[in-house]
Amino acid sequence: MEKTMVKAIYPGSFDPVTYGHLDVIERASKVVDELIIGVLVNSNKQPLFSMEERIHLLRETTKNYRNVQVKSFEGLTVNFARQNGAKVIIRGLRAVTDFESEMQIAQTNHSIEPEIETMFFTTSLQYSFLSSTIAKEVAFYGSDVSKLVPSVVEEALRVKYTGN
Ligand code: ADP
């Protein structure tokens, strides 16, 4: 039987990318053939990092994965998936608190585009409390974020909050 290529998108705000996201990216990159990280232009949220900065940090931290690309997108996730010929949407689940909203998003996406499936990755225990918001808060108060984000992100957060 001929093997079909599995192409997936991993959408999110990534403001900024954390070790939690990278854990999902690493694991997803092993099960799909091609993974496109989609950085969302979200008009409802005012991000700390610009689109260019978020993309740059993602590219820097994923450059060793040969099957991973980073792009920006606007609008519905299913449209972004379709435009890229992807049949799978990757999302991460940290705790039960993520479950309800993720389920709602996945059901909605499936009803709009039944050909596209959402695949969930549970996070490693050590990152189950971690979000971009937590990393920003810790950095804002000048505490050590080296266990939460890679060094390029740590540096970028320091520049944002201290100006040098
Ligand atoms: P969004 O604003 O779309 O939730 P995020 O950048 O916060 O964007 O998250 C993108 C995806 O990554 C979501 O599916 C989220 O649940 C997942 N995610 C975020 N942090 C972690 C983590 N620490 N472990 C596993 N998944 C995570």
Marked catalytic residue, from 27, 94, 158, 160: 94
Is the minimum distance from the CB of 89 to ligand 1 under 6 angstroms? no
Residue 158 pLDDT > 70, yes or no? yes
Lookup: tokens for 128: 């189950």
For ligand 1, atom 3, name the residue with the nearest CA. 12
Which among 96, 94, 56 has a CA at the least distance from the CA of 72? 56
C-alpha of residue 14 to centroid of ligand 1, in Å: 8
Q: Of residues 2 and 55, which shows the higher confidence score?
A: 55
Cα–Cα separations (whole angstroms), residue 68 to 34, 64, 111, 126:
6, 9, 27, 24
Task: Please report, rounded to a whole number, the percentage of residues in the chain having pLDDT higher than 90.
Answer: 86
C-alpha of residue 21 to centroid of ligand 1, in Å: 6
Residue 97 pLDDT > 90, yes or no? no
Which among 134, 163, 142, 143 has a CA at the least distance from the CA of 19? 134
Q: Of residues 141 and 97, which shows the higher confidence score?
A: 141
54 a catalytic residue: no
**Residue 68, φ and ψ in degrees, nearest 5:** -115, 135
The rounded mean pLDDT for the chain is: 94
Q: Please check whether residue 19 is in contact with residue 130, taking contact to mean a CB–CB distance below 8 angstroms.
A: yes
Lookup: tokens for 31: 């099960």
21 a catalytic residue: yes
C-alpha of residue 140 to centroid of ligand 1, in Å: 20
The radius of gyration of the chain from alpha carbons, rounded to an integer in Å, stands at 16
Mutate to test the pocket of ligand 1, among 24, 45, 48, 58 (most ligand atoms within 8 A of CB): 24
Residue 41 pLDDT > 80, yes or no? yes
147 a catalytic residue: no
